[in-house]
Amino acid sequence: MPQLTVVDHPLAGHLLASLRDRTTEPERFRVLARNLATVLVLEATRDLATRGSRVATPLSDTDVRVLDGDVVAVPILRAGLGLLDPVTELFPNVRIGYAGLERDEATLRPTSYYLKVPELAGRVVLVLDPMLATGGSASFACSLLKERGATQVRLVCVVAAPEGVERLHADHPDVQVVTAALDDGLNDVGYIVPGLGDFGDRLFGTL
């Protein structure tokens, strides 16, 4: 999988169009985010390892392929929660961790106020962060997870800015990014343009 994958699927574009629309209400926004996350997660996991197995159908035995390995999902609070449900539905045995990050107002750097993760070594780790803007928080989250043993990290986001992609790949060239769109860039206050506004506020109706 390339280090940056912009999902080229008609449904992804269609769902993203409604997410961008400023008139989309929170209830509808949550449904759209959930559906788009399903498309993104399928792309992010298309190369998961499999192994051969054998099952009995109602008619005969047959050879099949099953997943060989565990997946860990780590949403970055709070907006990343909007992408979590599709992961748990697609991968019922998924392990889930949580990363709470905030910006230190003195240094303007991200800090961690909460981190709870399962064993990460040898597992594919999906970091769920809807907006890859400056890349500071995503890079910091990847560093925290690597310190705890993660070696296969993939970032799933709805929209990415070139600045964020460049920052993440400079800090973590091994981390793969899967997104629905690579937007134009950041404005003077760090919002992605054209973007879709504050994902967390729109998801939870805290506008």
- Catalytic (active-site) positions: 103, 107, 198, 201
Euclidean distance between CA atoms 50 and 84, whole angstroms? 23
Quickly list H helices, 47-187. Answer: 84-90, 136-147, 162-171
Residues 6+ apart with CB under 8 A from 40: 7, 12, 83, 156, 157, 158, 178, 179, 180
Residues 6+ apart with CB under 8 A from 29: 19, 202, 203
Amino acid letter, 58: P
**Distance of alpha carbon 74 from its chain centroid, rounded?**
8
Euclidean distance between CA atoms 85 and 90, whole angstroms? 9
Q: Which residues pair with 5 in a beta bridge?
A: 178
Q: Write the DSSP string, 18-56.
A: HHH-TT--HHHHHHHHHHHHHHHHHHHTTT--EEEEEEE
